[in-house]
Amino acid sequence: MAMSKASQKSRRAHARVLGWSLAVILIGAMVAPLSGYLYVAVAPAAYAQQTADNWEQENPRADTWGSARRANEGYTSASGPYVVNELIINGGENWRNLRNGPVASIMPWFMAASLLVLGALYLIVGPHELKGPLSGRKVKRWAGWERAMHWFVAVTFIILAITGLSLLFGRAVLIPLLGYQGFSVWAEVSKWLHNVVGPFFTVGVLLMLLTWVRNNIFTKTDLEWFKKGGGIFTGKHVSAGKLNGGEKAWYWFVIIIGLGVVCTTGLILDFPNFGQSRETMQIANLLHAVLAILWIAISFGHIYLGVIGAKGALEGMTTGYVSEEWAREHHDEWLDEIRASGQGDAPEPDRSPAGGPAHGPAAPER
């Protein structure tokens, strides 16, 4: 019995040693590479001299390539808008490292974080349910041409998002799935769709700017809406006009960042024969990629709230009408305005068993 206890004690000791060893190995594997940065920070001059000495010893042609990369102007017989008399252009390599480095490795996490937050919001808070029964009375919210414009922009946005992400991450994500030949075909299709659909999408967003700008001016009501978080976490009613503070913030993001930067840089890339320099194209490409991914990440929230988070909102963009109860709970100030003007109502439904007059006051037709 004593030997058994000793054996168990020995095994536990070995397990602890093994556990600590694995921990030291894992921590060392993560921390050890940082020592190089520490050394450079502590002794930058010594590091620079050592690097130069090693470079001269290991690569005797360093001076030759260094001279080639100094952008000394030479001569070329080639012609074209982007042909320059330089052997090596450092800007292209810098652009490539940024695009395939931070942009391709960091920005996807914004989309993942957006989906995780929305998933947690759904599990913790859930969709907003109307507190009372529906009366059947409807209120007109969007005209037919407004809905057509919205869905045109939505569909073209989805096409651009899919094709743009395919072009940016296709080599890492799609080649293992489709193979080189399959991805080559899809990449050609994606490039063509992205270039053709982009200008039409830009026109759609510009129409949204002109159509809805008067509905998206911030007011004191919106400030109170933001202070109360739109009632998302409390479930309490928060007053709003035709559009609440969150919808207005989304609108101005689409206009300022979307139209002002993403669409503008897209046009610069789509039509390169208007005197843009190579550096301008490179900067436009990076801005386009980074802010487009951010746009996609934020759009997940817009889609979630419109389809799942606020039940009844999608009906407004599909039929043009919303229930009176939904309008009262989400946009009470707007409902009071149209009630005072006598506009925006749908015909009162017939709820009598024999098809006689409906109960309650009839709403005027528009």
The neighbouring-strand residues paired with 207 are none
Identity of the amino acid at 66 = G
Residue 328: CA atoms inside 13 Å, Cβ hemisphere, count?
13
pLDDT of residue 39: 45
The secondary element (H helix, E strand) that includes residue 190 is helix 175-212
Contact indicator for 232, 259 with CB cutoff of 8 Å: no
Pick the closest to residue 145 from 200, 210, 242, 198 (CA basis). 210
Label residue 275 left, alpha or beta by phi (over 0 means left) and psi (-120 to 50 means alpha). left
Tell me how far apart the alpha carbons of residues 191 and 163 are, in angstroms, rounded to a whole number.
Answer: 7
Chain Cα centroid distance, residue 176:
25
pLDDT tens per residue across all 366 residues of the chain: 444 565 556 556 555 655 555 555 545 544 444 444 444 455 555 545 555 555 455 555 556 666 656 656 666 666 655 556 666 667 778 888 888 888 988 999 999 999 999 999 989 888 888 887 888 899 999 999 999 999 999 999 999 999 999 999 988 888 888 888 888 889 999 999 999 999 999 999 999 999 999 999 999 999 999 998 888 777 777 889 999 999 999 999 999 999 999 999 999 999 987 888 888 999 999 999 999 999 999 999 999 988 888 888 899 999 999 999 999 989 999 999 988 877 656 554 444 444 444 433 434 333
- Asked if 346 and 141 touch (Cβ cutoff 8 Å), the reply is no
pTM (global) more than 0.75: no
User: CA–CA separation, 38 vs 50, rounded Å?
Assistant: 15
As beta bridge partners, residue 176 has: none
H-assigned helices in 213-360: 220-227, 245-253, 264-270, 278-304, 313-319, 324-330, 332-341
> Residue 321 belongs to what H/E stretch?
strand 321-323
At position 350, the amino acid (one-letter code) is: D
**What's the pLDDT score for residue 292?**
96
DSSP 122-139: HHHT-PBPPSS---S-EE
